Structure 1
Amino acid sequence: MKTIPLHERTLARLLREQACVYGDKPFLMYYGRSFSYAEAYELSRRIASGLLASGIQPKQHVAVMMENRPETVWLNFALALIGAVTVPINNASRGDLLAYYARQSDAVALVIDESFVERFAVVESECPLLKRLIVFPDETDSGICDHSFAHAQVLAWDEIADAPGLSDDAPGPEYSDTLQILYSSGTTGVSKGSMIANATAIRAAQKHVEVYGYTSEDIMYTCLPMFHGNALNCTVLPALLAGATVALSRRFSTSQFWREINECKATRTSLLSAMINFLWLKEPSQEERSHSLKTALVVPAPEFAPEFEQRFDVKITSLYALGDFGYATMFGPDDPREKIRSAGRPLPEVSLAILDDDDQPVAPGQVGQICLRTNEAWFARQGYYKMPEVWVSSLRNYWLHTGDMGRLDEEGYLYFAGRNKELIRRRGENISALQVEEVIRRHQCVADVAVFAVRAEFLEDEVMASVVCREGSNIDLAELIQFCAPQMAYFMVPRFVELLPHLPLTATGKVEKYKLRESAETRLSEVWDREQHGIRLEK
């Protein structure tokens, strides 16, 4: 594929050009509905015009909290057309976390599903810059928006989407303008918003097309949420660039996955670790062998990857990427299958080193910290929004220190060896142990707490908390869960909880979480489990 000149790397330009090239060709399929490239562009232009009419200006930040649907895609495109910045918010966010995302990002508007509006009502006073709330109605809603707030103006989605289309002559963004701000899970403190320029997003999409061999004949299926970088940046944008078709699903379902794959005749898809495990543990069926899938982008590749390929007749591809940096390595369908557990080799646009604690390279095969540099301007992220000092602190000796551990083999293939100790990966979600601990410590009876991952059923990690009570206090564990639930995303709330007289500490006063984890996993069936106590969390 010919490299797109730097000054032409904007999503707005790509959308216009592909609408002209592919016209009536299907771009998006969604439960029996189909939208052509031309229709996708026209619908996005209408929303873009409506956003401008509502007062949203180029380079302003707009937060988005919507379920998977075609309108979510058009909104992302519309914001790109007017040069505004999209701030995707995890749909599970509530309380302090929701307020933080809206406030720290300087969002002037929030496009939100009707079902999430009450969450915003709780934190409106903490988001003084957020002046507009654009509400997408529930399926049973009449379309009339009757919400009101003290400071935010409420607009119905139809008021935005029914505007006349944006002119093709309207000035668009520059390649260097920020397209998205994606927030991390906050593994080393508060969540950080990584700035992704237009040029970066388009160049990354091009690497997907080049390495994985996507073409205009492909149908690319995704059931991952649009607020994650994977669905938009690993599926929608590469499909747009390749002239392919996107098959969008509302969410992942183990029982429906292969049926949906077959119905849309998908040729490509992406799977996260929990999805892989659920599909692997499912009873074999005819549907899992009658599909048209060529490749599945799997992150990370499991131990049973070779058996997975054989059972499901699909080639696994993979990568190593960091929200703070972007794409570093890719493992394509033509790479040696004996390297399938790797994340591939470093891209030409990236330098990757495995360094020890003194920032010295370790020998091939030895584990050290994965550190990155970019070799091409605008290939990587442009730093953290309003946190330049935090960004600079991660660039010791001109290397971005990822906090991830890994090793390189003799052929230069990267093998992931473990995540930052404060990061918990649960069913595709990155969870900051520090953020969960911060909430639990607010409970009046808690003296100290350590949050960590434990391996439970389905070969997956679950969140566990070891809690120390204040002297003279006692804690009802069910009540502690109810205390946590309104203040964090449902997937962050600990499933397992234990009460301890004290936490094990190192000589320098740091909690030895590995000891807590090792101890808990030997007796997990005896540890208090909210699921066993019938506590269900609102999503």
Structure 2
Amino acid sequence: MESTGNTAAATVAELVRARWGDHRTGLRFATGRLTHHQVAAGAAARAALLADLLPRRGEPHIGVLLDNTPEYPLWLSAAALAGAAVAGINPTRRGAELARDILHTDCAVLVTERAHLPLLDGLELPSVRILVTDTDAYAELLAPYAGAKPEIARTVTPRSRMLLYFTSGSTGAPKAAICSQGRLAAAGGSLVEHFGVRSTDTHYICMPMFHGNAVIADWAPALAAGAGVALRRRFSASQFLSDVREFRATYFTYVGRAVQYILATPARADDRENPLRVGFGTEAGAVDAARFEERFGVRLVEGYGSSEGGAAIRRAADTPPTAIGRAAPGDDLAVVDPRTCRECDPAEFASDGRLLNGSSAIGELVNRGRNPFEGYWRNEEAEAERLRGGWYWTGDLFYRDAEGHLYFAGRTDDRLRVDSENLAAAVIENILARYEGAAAVAVYAVPDPVAGDQVMAALAPPPSTPFDPLAFTEFLLSQRDLGTKMAPRFVRIVERMPVTATNKVARAALRAEAFRCADPVWWRAPGQASYHPLTGADVASLRAQYESQGRSELLP
């Protein structure tokens, strides 16, 4: 493997300093490029500025409220040299919630750009110094530090905080997970070895850098290997392939529905003419991964690592297509029933691959051994919940076969209970993803009028393709692994799947609206096999059923 990186570096700061004097192209973006040396020099100038801006007493934390501009990796590198931590601020947050994220993480400095200044209007941010990168004032502020060299602050150790990245949840304020310099450097080095990253590679970062995926799985291995980085300000499915070709990108990461959106773009005869070697991410699903490889000639590797670092799964050559892999070395992973803390039964499959014992096989993935979880910033209650009974609880549903392969079944709040049978949304989604009339699918629970849940699906058809209820019904009947409780009772037709800022399906919003939404909804009335439009009269009748059972409070 060709590499001029330092995959054994103990800190991110060492990796940044190692690029000093390297005059190969290190950073590509829409309007230009920088060499590795220029990136290191820019980081050194910003680190020197930070040394003067950060308070002598108080936490060395900076907030970064930017799109994927060159300033983002420059400030990550600067923070590493200065021994500061970067809190990635989500630009889709608003008002008091946005202010809360900045203040909760004790940011003394907030780095932003003019496009995001309206988000800060009216916010109370006492003692927060705001730097606006695309202004003359910012350039003047940096100018005196232009000759700085990448020196590592004396306070930097492998345990120094490097990232404070917010983990999303369906309820409550986001939690700021801690990632140290040592853990980030080790993660980058591990991915270099796993994927054979070379110094001649270019990593395409199109996922938002305020999220852990882009920094940990894309930027860190590029830095560790001395590879180049190419930035897309914001993800664009229509520009994905042209970017890849322009930047000569060989590696990219994805989350959520990004792969589905790329697949929904018009196919071209030359789609396979691209330099990509591999894509690494989560939740693409086996069906879409196969479609992506067939169309673009690029292998997608589905991985798993909890956002907080407490558990990881590695894919090997013998991993079944629909599985994620086995536990990473050193992890003692188990699938347990959270009510009893007992291990779930091994998964049993029919000859066609259908899971036969989902109710007893699906449980929460836990790590019973040592793990690198480094806690949440100022949130002891959340830490205790994550580390119940001395185990690390991932909050994710899995099932495990007799050979130890682990299969993702969704988040714990994506479990459905239909007619006393436990179902997992991800299992149903993987089946519905085969339907040619769906560019994207999300499955979630809506309350049943009497007890438990009913299955609802949001379906985004391909462009200019109307929903065909008869074809969808025939598709469902032909799926041998679709259990009798799995077929959706309600189908919401959306023009585009609602997603969070990190391109994960906004399930909380879908669940909250249920079948009382502005989009067209089709449904199967009890005892019927075919789908019909849900009318106002149907909604009134359903509401009466909920009221008669004393469950009307469950409706939004």
**TM-score w.r.t. structure 1 length?**
0.72
Query: One-letter code of the match for 1:241?
Result: A
Partner of 1:16 in structure 2? 17
SS of equivalent to 1:236? helix
Q: Give the whole-Å Cα distance in 2 for the aligned partners of 1:18 and 1:353.
A: 41
Are 1:410 and 2:392 an aligned pair?
Answer: no
Partner of 2:284 in structure 1? 301
Instruction: Give yes or no for contact 1:301–1:340 (8 Å, CA) kept in 2.
Output: no
Are 1:223 and 2:224 an aligned pair?
Answer: no
CA offset digits 1:251-304 (Å, max 9, x no partner): 222221111111222111122232211222222113421012111113113241
Instruction: Give yes or no for contact 2:203–2:250 (8 Å, CA) kept in 1.
Output: yes
Q: By how many angstroms is 1:59 displaced?
A: 4.6
Are 1:342 and 2:326 an aligned pair?
Answer: no
1:243 to 226, 237, 256: 226
Query: One-letter code of the match for 1:49?
Result: A
2:164 to 181, 189, 194: 181
Query: One-letter code of the match for 1:179?
Result: M
Q: By how many angstroms is 1:32 displaced?
A: 5.4
CA offset digits 1:474-526 (Å, max 9, x no partner): xxxxxxxxxxxxxxxx979957986999xxxxxxxxxxxxxx9999x977876
1:132 to 109, 129, 134: 129
Q: Where do 4+ consecutive residues of structure 1 move more than 3 Å?
A: 1-6, 55-59, 373-376, 422-425, 490-501, 516-519, 521-527
SS of equivalent to 1:415? strand
Q: Give the whole-Å Cα distance in 2 for the aligned partners of 1:326 and 1:358.
A: 21
2:388 to 374, 382, 396: 396
Query: One-letter code of the match for 1:101?
Result: D
SS of equivalent to 2:121? helix
Q: How many residues align?
A: 435
Partner of 2:242 in structure 1? 259
Q: Give the whole-Å Cα distance in 1 for the aligned partners of 2:149 and 2:30.
A: 28
Partner of 1:120 in structure 2? 120
Are 1:163 and 2:145 an aligned pair?
Answer: yes
CA offset digits 1:142-175 (Å, max 9, x no partner): x355xxxxxxxxxx35413652315636425111
Query: One-letter code of the match for 2:220?
Result: L
Are 1:36 and 2:31 an aligned pair?
Answer: no
1:276 to 259, 263, 272: 259
Identity of aligned residues (%): 26
Instruction: Give yes or no for contact 1:10–1:202 (8 Å, CA) kept in 2.
Output: yes
Compared CA separation, residues 240 and 456, structure 1 to 2 (3 A): same
1:351 to 332, 353, 357: 332
Are 1:319 and 2:282 an aligned pair?
Answer: no
CA offset digits 1:5-64 (Å, max 9, x no partner): 99x5211111112435xx112211112522222111101001111222234559511111
CA offset digits 1:228-272 (Å, max 9, x no partner): 112111111101111211121122222211111112221111222
Partner of 1:362 in structure 2? 344
Query: One-letter code of the match for 1:370?
Result: L
Q: Give the whole-Å Cα distance in 1 for the aligned partners of 2:136 and 2:245.
A: 38
Compared CA separation, residues 41 and 275, structure 1 to 2 (3 A): same
Partner of 1:62 in structure 2? 62
Matches within 5 A, 1:87-98: 87-98=87-98
Structure 1 residue runs of 5 or longer lacking an equivalent are 138-142, 146-155, 426-430, 434-449, 460-489, 502-515, 528-539
Q: Give the whole-Å Cα distance in 2 for the aligned partners of 1:320 and 1:400.
A: 15
Instruction: Give yes or no for contact 2:59–2:106 (8 Å, CA) kept in 1.
Output: no
Query: One-letter code of the match for 1:215?
Result: R
